[in-house]
Chains A and B, each alone.
Chain A
């Protein structure tokens, strides 16, 4: 998404600018994750679009995000173990 990096600010010799740019980049990366989760969880949780999001759908969306984060942690954790044991 954002192709810049804080090295732009560093190159300009402005530490404050570098810091601000890095912060914006991080925010942008978070936004992109939210886009990805919304796509995934929409498919899992939303049947027919109606006049509002009912509480069941809301709960499903929340659980979906939490379980995806859990899955990420589980995958990276186990993968690290596998690599440590010398095979993958």
Chain B
């Protein structure tokens, strides 16, 4: 049997694989959250009276909206993490 020592958690392959799985699952769930909320917001902003298909302006709006939503997400993430650090520093 090969010796897998020297891994990040003292050589236990099982732990490493579990952590990889867990991180992957979290990343997938995070992406799903983002997509679901972004779709909701961009539908509301971009699609007026629903027609028989998405017209060009609606599609352009959706693309722009997605970019802005992700910009907003990043801003919120940065601001929230800074605030948390400030609160912790006061404790």
Contact = CB atoms under 8 A, between A and B. Distances in A.
Q: A and B from one assembly?
A: yes
Interface of A: 1-2, 4, 14, 16-17, 20-21, 24, 27-28, 30-35, 37-39, 41-43, 45-46, 48-53, 57-58, 61-62, 64-66, 69
B9 A24 contact: no
Q: Tell me the interface secondary structure of chain A in the complex.
A: helix
B83 to A, nearest CB: 5
Interface of B: 9-10, 12, 15, 18-19, 22-23, 25-26, 29-30, 33-34, 37, 41-42, 45-46, 61, 64-65, 67-69, 71-73, 75-77, 79-81, 83-84, 87
A28 B26 CA distance: 7
Given A33-B80, A39-B41, A16 B72 contact: no
B88 to A, nearest CB: 13
B50 to A, nearest CB: 18
